[in-house]
Structure 1
Amino acid sequence: MLRAIFKIHFMALLAIIGSLLGSLMLFLIGAYEVFEAFLLFFGFGHPSVPGQEITEATATILSSLDSFLLGFVLLYFAYNLFFLLTFPEQREDRFGPIKMPPALHVESLDKMKKTILVIIVVSLSVFLLKENPVEGEHAQ
């Protein structure tokens, strides 16, 4: 009975796979937004306000930065959740000597939550930077 309860940690694999797929999707969205910004900047796109191509291209680049940051958050979450919950005691036995980058190495869930919180705050500030210039121009 107790063994069955401890095997529940493999349910974390659903969260890991979902986070990896979400991360991939956000990276693709970010790449598409960069492509869209280049089209706007070089005059091949259609801006919502004529004559504001550069401003919209800048806002689109900031939006892509936001997508990349959120994609990184999901990737970071999946990577650390895998190593913290799935195989915490047998990492080296199962996978050989794994060289984790120092930025991705996490000792506890609390440290991971703090890092994710910092990235979310940065993402919110990017969102505010993206929205303010566009609203300011329409108000004039």
Structure 2
Amino acid sequence: MKNIFNTFRHMGLIAIICSTLGSLLLFVVGAMKTYTAFAIVFLGKVPEESMAHLDTAELATTYLIKSLDTFLIAFVLFIFAHGVFTLFILDKDEKELKGKIKVLRWINTPNIGHLKNILAEVIVIILFVKFLELVLVNINNLTWEILILPISIVLLSAGLKLLGLGDHE
């Protein structure tokens, strides 16, 4: 029975490979969004007609915020892939060997709860970035309905704090 579970843990390789490939894809997409910001400023390109009312600086800022958001998600996928590898694939003997090799603290994944904390924190940050992007794009047409997103961010953050998911070791 132990051999079956030992073999089954290698199914995590699917999650690792897909997360790593997704991370690489998002790094490319983030770089493309950064390039778009430069193209807006230096080449005068307007990527979407719906954003034509914004000036050059606002458009470039919007795309840079989008790129930062994309890079953040890419890093989370990378950390997730590393965490699944560390928790489910790596043998104890390999973990002892790995203990001799220094891993950056921000990528160290001691347990599955740590991965959940990272994901929860990133969801809050992504929602906040989306709110900033929404305000920037609709700066001339702000309505009270726009407050729904920041209120939900505050409620989500409070819920995570009550659950203790925001606490760090």
- For structure 2, which runs of at least 5 residues remain unmatched after alignment? 143-169
Tell me the residue number matched to 1:9: 9
Scaled by the length of structure 2, the TM-score of the pair is: 0.74
Instruction: Give the TM-score, by structure 1 length.
Output: 0.88
How many residues are matched? 140
1:124 to 103, 124, 127: 127
C-alpha deviations, 1:78-132, integer Å up to 9, x for none? 0111011101412246668321101111211002211221122112211111111
Distance 1:19 1:71 in 2: 9
Q: What is the 5 A alignment of 1:10-89?
A: 10-46=10-46, 48=49, 49=52, 52-89=55-92
User: Of residues 71, 91, 95 in structure 1, which corresponds to 2:94?
Assistant: 91
Whole-angstrom distance in 2 between the partners of 1:3 and 1:36 = 51
Cross-structure match for 1:105: 108
Q: Report the AA paired with residue 63 of structure 1.
A: K
Q: Which amino acid aligns with 2:25?
A: M
Q: Which moved more, 1:117-126 or 1:74-83?
A: 117-126
Distance in 1 of aligned mates of 2:86 and 2:54: 50
* Structure 1 unaligned residues grouped into runs of 5+: none
Question: RCO (CA 8 Å, sep 6+): is it higher in 1 or 2?
Answer: 1
SS in 1 for 2:109: coil
Q: Does the Cα contact within 8 Å between 1:106 and 1:112 map onto a contact in 2?
A: yes
- The alignment's C-alpha RMSD in Å is 2.2
Quick one: which amino acid aligns to residue 80 of structure 1? G
Secondary structure of the residue aligned to 1:100 is coil
User: d(CA) in 2 for partners of 1:56 and 1:36?
Assistant: 9
- The 1:138–1:52 alpha-carbon spacing in structure 2 relative to 1, beyond 3 Å, is farther
Give the aligned residue type for 2:10: F
Query: Which secondary structure does the structure 2 equivalent of 1:136 belong to?
Result: coil
CA drift of 1:2 comes to 3.2
1:48-69 CA distance string (max 9 Å, x none): 3156221111101000011000
Name whichever of 27-36 and 103-112 sits farther off. 103-112
